[in-house]
Amino acid sequence: MGKIKTACVIDDDEIYSYSVDWIIKTNELAEKILFFSNGKLAIDFFIENLNHPENLPDVVLLDINMPVLDGWQFMDEYVKLKTAIDKKIIFYMVSSTIDEDDYTKSRMYTEIVDFIVKPITISALTDIADKFE
């Protein structure tokens, strides 16, 4: 079974965040988990740690609808920072959206490897972790 060094959840839904935290910890899918309740808090953390890539996550589970900076706005900010970050970070969009436009939009970002429609399952999270050795 693979293990993620640092996972990151950017989502304003507390129940969801609690659940993901519980699943990852129970199944030992990651060594460390970071939680941010909106895109702005996350991007601020990324900017603070530009020179400390070891602090930045390897996998990000990103929600779309969030206050202040939503998922797309976060991605746009991240793309601007990307070249300054010495680390490959992969993104999963995790949203309950049923809007086709959102699915289409996610394909325009090369950083986003997949789009997971909520509810996320334990096996989906295990599969993500399995990609890391």
> Footprint of other proteins on this chain (CB under 8 A)?
13, 15-16, 19, 22-23, 26, 65, 67-68, 96-99, 118-122
- Strand-pairing partners, residue 95, are 117
Least gap, CB of 40 to other proteins (angstroms): 9
For the chain, helix (H) and strand (E) counts, in that order, are 5, 5
Question: By C-beta, is 16 or 56 nearer to other proteins?
Answer: 16
Least gap, CB of 118 to other proteins (angstroms): 4
* Cα(50)–Cα(54) distance, integer angstroms: 10
What DSSP string describes 117-132?
ESSP-HHHHHHHHHT-
Question: By C-beta, is 112 or 125 nearer to other proteins?
Answer: 125
Question: By C-beta, is 101 or 133 nearer to other proteins?
Answer: 101
Least gap, CB of 27 to other proteins (angstroms): 11
**Residue 16: which residues within 8 A CB-CB, separation 6 or more?**
9, 63, 118, 120
Least gap, CB of 4 to other proteins (angstroms): 19
Residue 62 and residue 78 in contact, taking contact as beta carbons nearer than 8 Å: no
Question: By C-beta, is 12 or 130 nearer to other proteins?
Answer: 12
